[in-house]
A and B are shown apart, each in its own frame.
Chain A
Amino acid sequence: MFKILLITLAVTLSVHAQRNRVDNAPKVGDAIPKVSAHAKEDFKKVDLSAPTKPTVLIFGSHT
């Protein structure tokens, strides 16, 4: 019984932590962060801070 309670508590805390991860993402109207990424082909830096056209950033990975 104690084991079940402990597991339940661990799962609850884990879910709570996931939902409350620090989120420092810029909001609508905020200045665009001054960061750059690398082109996949040649690793050249691509400045993402001053777009000349509206720019969609899609963040993700394979997993």
Chain B
Amino acid sequence: MRQTGRLQEMYVKYSDKMDFYWVYIQEAHATDGRRPSRTVKVALHKTLEDRKKAASGCATVSPLKAPVLLDDMEDSVSTAYSALPERFFILGTDGKIVYAGKRGPHGIDLDALEKSIAVQAGVKVEAEEK
């Protein structure tokens, strides 16, 4: 997952007002998958223990320190959110989705995500400089 440095900045800035969860889902480019990553070698998870091991390895090297949750082996959460390979959402306390990002990597818009986080956190958003 990319942009984890910026996500960590948001986590540090807003985690006193909101919950953040990094939901670790199936590998997008597993070594035994259709399009393996050339740089990171992680096999498809066959058990929740495999997923935990992959998530722990990733969390160790990632700047993002938000609490990590694991999707189940049926990929229920990832499927419900069409989240593969990466995606961001904000859930409201009224039971509704308040931010729905586009699917990554090309649809990721961290500026839009941060603006929405700031609104939810009740932080005044400064006008963009032109």
- Which B residues contact A (CB, under 8 angstroms)? 1, 7, 10, 14, 17-30, 36-37, 40, 42, 48, 52, 54-59, 64, 66-72, 76-93, 95-100, 103-104, 113, 117, 120-121
A residues within 8 A CB of B1?
58, 60-62
How many residues of chain A are within 8 Å of chain B by beta carbon? 37
Fill in one digit per residue for A8-42: 1 if any B CB lies within 8 Å of its CB, else 0: 00000000000001111111111111011111100
CA distance A22 to B7 in the complex (A): 27
**Considering only CB atoms, which chain A residue lies closest to B16 in the complex?**
A53
Residue of B nearest to A27 (CB): B100
Whether A59 and B86, one on each chain, are in contact in the complex, defined by CB atoms closer than 8 angstroms, is: yes
A14 to chain B, nearest CB (A): 10
Decide if A55 touches B27 in the complex (CB within 8 Å).
Answer: no
In the complex, chain A residues whose CB is within 8 Å of the CB of B120: 54
Q: How far is the CA of A32 from the CA of B22 in the complex (A)?
A: 17
CA distance A60 to B24 in the complex (A): 6
User: Please, how many angstroms separate the alpha-carbon atoms of A54 and B55 in the complex?
Assistant: 24
Question: Are the C-beta atoms of A40 and B69 separated by less than 8 Å?
Answer: yes
Given contacts A28-B99, A31-B96, contact A54 B91 (CB under 8 A): yes
> Can you name 26 A-B residue pairings with CB atoms under 8 Å?
A23-B103, A24-B79, A28-B100, A29-B96, A32-B95, A32-B96, A33-B80, A33-B81, A35-B77, A36-B76, A37-B70, A38-B69, A39-B69, A40-B52, A55-B90, A56-B66, A57-B88, A58-B21, A59-B78, A59-B88, A61-B1, A61-B42, A61-B58, A61-B85, A62-B54, A63-B37
